[in-house]
Amino acid sequence: MHQPLHSTDVTSQVHPYTNLALHETAGPMVISKGEGVFVYDDKGNKYLEGLAGLFCASLGFSNSRLADAADRQMRQLPFYHSFGHKANEPAILLAEKLLAMAPVPMSKVFFANSGSEANDTAIKLVWYYNNALGRPAKKKIIARSRGYHGVTIASASLTGLPNNHRDFDLPIDRILHTDCPHYWRHGLPGESEEDFATRCADSLEQLILREGPDTIAAFFAEPIMVSGGVIVPPRTYFAKVQAVLRKYDILLVADEVICGFARTGNMFGTETFGMHPDMITCAKQLSAGYLPISALMVNEAIYQAMLAESRKIGTFGHGFTYSGHPVAAAVALETLKIYEEENILEHVRSVIPHFQQRLQALGSHPLVGEARGHGLLGAVELVADRETKAPFAPELGMAARAGTAALSHGIITRALGDTVNMCPPLIITRQEIDMLFDGIEGALDDTHSLAQRA
C-alpha cells in the first residue's frame, strides 16, 4: 500500500541534509498528518515532534487560525510582488508589526523567503553600506566555528560546519571564522566561564588586528548556536565581544532565525543575551513554519546608506519574486497575533523550568557528556568517556543512532554531530515535555546497550 510512494520518492527527489546513497536503500519516512505537537507517518504511527519540524513549527501542526488566514488571503490576493513601488496590505502591516516588536530600534524591514536568503541579503547590505561610506576595503565578515547561517553560497560560507563547505568550494573570499564559544568543550582546566569569554573576545580582537581593522565590516552571531549543537554563550560573552566590535566600528548582525519569537524565554534571543545588533534576521517561527517567509531588519544608519546608494545608482538592485508574498505575510501576521493573544510567551516561561529540569537530569546518563540548553532549546552531547570528554569515533554515528532509536519511543528529534537536539513547539505542555524526555531517555538507554555490545 505504501511502497509506490516510497519508491517514487527515491527515484524522483533529492533530500537536503541526507546521505543520498543510503536513501536509495533506506527510503523516506513519509509524514502524512499533524495534530498539535504530534505528527503521523503514512503507516499511522504517532510521534511527538521534538524539534518542531526544523526549529520552526512553534504553534504545532494543526493551527486552524493560520490555515484560515492563508485561505482568506489566497482568495483575496494570492500573489503580488514588491518591485517598482508595488505593495500589499499584509506585507505592510507585517513590517510595521516587526518594527514595533524589535528588541532594539530598527528602521526598515526587507522580506525574503528563508533564513539563508535573509542572511545572504545582510551580507550584501554590509558591503553596500561600506561602499556608501566610501570604505571599499572594509568588507570582510567574521562568523564563528560551529555557527549556522544558511546554505546559499554566501550564507553557507558564514556557516562554520565542515560538511557545509566540503567539496562545495566554500567558504568564499572575505569570510572569516573565529572561536566557537563552547565553554564545556573548549574551556581550559581551571578557567572560569567569564575568563573563557574573555579569551574568546581576545581571540576575536587578535583576528581583527591580524586582518586589519579597516578591512573588517561585520560579525554575524546567533544568540544561541542551535544547529551547531545548542551552544549557549558563556556568561559575559556578548558584552565582551560587542566591546571589541564597537572599538573597531564593526557591525553586529544578530541571526534570530531560530531564537526569535519566544524560544529563549524572551521574544528575541537578542534580549536574552544583551545583544545590540545593527541588523536582525528572522524566519522559521515568524510564520510558525506554515509558509516560507523571512525578514531582515536594518537600523537607520544602514537604511540611510541604502538610500544614498539608491539615489546614486537609480535603484536598489536587490529583491526576490516572493519578497513580501501576501499569503506568507498574512500567515506571519496572524502568527504574531496568536503569540500575543494566546500569551505564548507567558506559556513558554511557565514550562521552561520543567523542560530544563528534565534536560539537566539527562546529564547523568552514562552516554552523556553534557546536557545543555536555554529556554525551550536543549541538547545532549554523547561521549565515549565522560571523564575525558572523548567523543565517539565519527563512523559509529552514535548520536544518529540515538535519534533513530527515539523513533521507536514515539519521538522525532535530530542528531547533529555528537549531539541530540530538542526544540519542541512552543505550545508543548508539561505532560508532553515528560513524554519527550521519557522517550529521549529510552533512546539513550537503547543506544548505550548497543554501544556496550559493540
Average pLDDT over residues 204-215: 98
Residue finishing a domain among 321, 341, 361: 341
Measured torsion, CA atoms of residues 20, 22, 25, 26, in degrees rounded to the nearest 10: -100
Same domain, 153 and 288: yes
Q: For strands 411-412 and 251-255, give the pairing.
A: unpaired
Q: What is the pLDDT of residue 2?
A: 52
**Angstrom distance (rounded) from CA 210 to CA 443:** 47
**Angstrom distance (rounded) from CA 259 to CA 279:** 15
Using a pLDDT cut of 90, give the percent of the chain over it.
95
Q: What is the DSSP letter of 382?
A: E
Q: What is the pLDDT of residue 452?
A: 74
Q: What is the pLDDT of residue 272?
A: 98
Same domain, 292 and 179: yes
Residue finishing a domain among 341, 357, 383: 341
The H or E element spanning position 424 is: none
Q: What is the Cβ-side half-sphere exposure of residue 38, based on CA atoms within 13 angstroms?
A: 11
pLDDT, one tens digit per residue, over 273-290 is 999 999 999 999 999 999
Same domain, 123 and 49: no
Same domain, 303 and 371: no
Same domain, 147 and 255: yes
Same domain, 152 and 294: yes
Least confident range of 17-26, 32-41, 268-277, 351-360? 17-26
Same domain, 234 and 291: yes
Confidence of residue 454 (pLDDT cuts 50, 70, 90): low
147 and 226 in contact (C-beta within 8 Å)?
A: no
Q: What is the DSSP letter of 259?
A: T
pLDDT, one tens digit per residue, over 361-382 is 999 999 999 999 999 999 999 9
Q: Got the DSSP string for 201-243?
A: HHHHHHHHHHH-GGGEEEEEE-SSBTTTT-BPPPTTHHHHHHH
Quick one: cell of 277?
545588533
Query: Residues of 47-72 as b/e, b for ≥16 C-beta within 10 angstroms?
Result: bbbbbbbebbbbbbbebebbeebbee
Same domain, 181 and 243: yes
**Angstrom distance (rounded) from CA 192 to CA 353:** 25
Residue finishing a domain among 341, 362, 388: 341
Owning domain of residue 413 = 3-62+343-453
Identify residue 299 by its one-letter amino acid code: N
According to DSSP, the residues that pair with 203 across neighbouring strands are: none
Confidence of residue 449 (pLDDT cuts 50, 70, 90): confident
What does each C-alpha distance from 383 to 82, 190, 203, 374, 394 come to in angstroms? 50, 21, 27, 21, 11
Judged against a pLDDT cut of 70, whether residue 217 lies above it is answered with: yes
Same domain, 12 and 133: no
CATH for 277:
3.40.640.10
Helices and strands (H, E) in the chain, number of each type = 16, 15
Average pLDDT over residues 139-160: 97
CB-based contacts of 105: which residues, under 8 Å, 6+ apart?
299, 300
Q: Which of 143, 155, 127 is nearest to 207 (CA)?
A: 143
According to DSSP, the residues that pair with 389 across neighbouring strands are: none
160 and 146 in contact (C-beta within 8 Å)?
A: yes
Q: What is the pLDDT of residue 10?
A: 92
Q: What is the pLDDT of residue 435?
A: 98
pLDDT, one tens digit per residue, over 43-88 is 999 999 999 999 999 999 999 999 999 999 999 999 999 999 999 9
The H or E element spanning position 179 is: none
Same domain, 89 and 124: yes
CATH for 400:
3.90.1150.10
Count of domains observed in the chain: 2
Same domain, 372 and 402: yes
**What's the maximum distance between 2 C-alpha atoms anywhere in the chain?**
69
45 and 33 in contact (C-beta within 8 Å)?
A: no
Same domain, 334 and 362: no
Average pLDDT over residues 258-263: 98
Judged against a pLDDT cut of 70, whether residue 1 lies above it is answered with: no
Angle at 268 between CA 330 and CA 142, to 5 degrees: 110
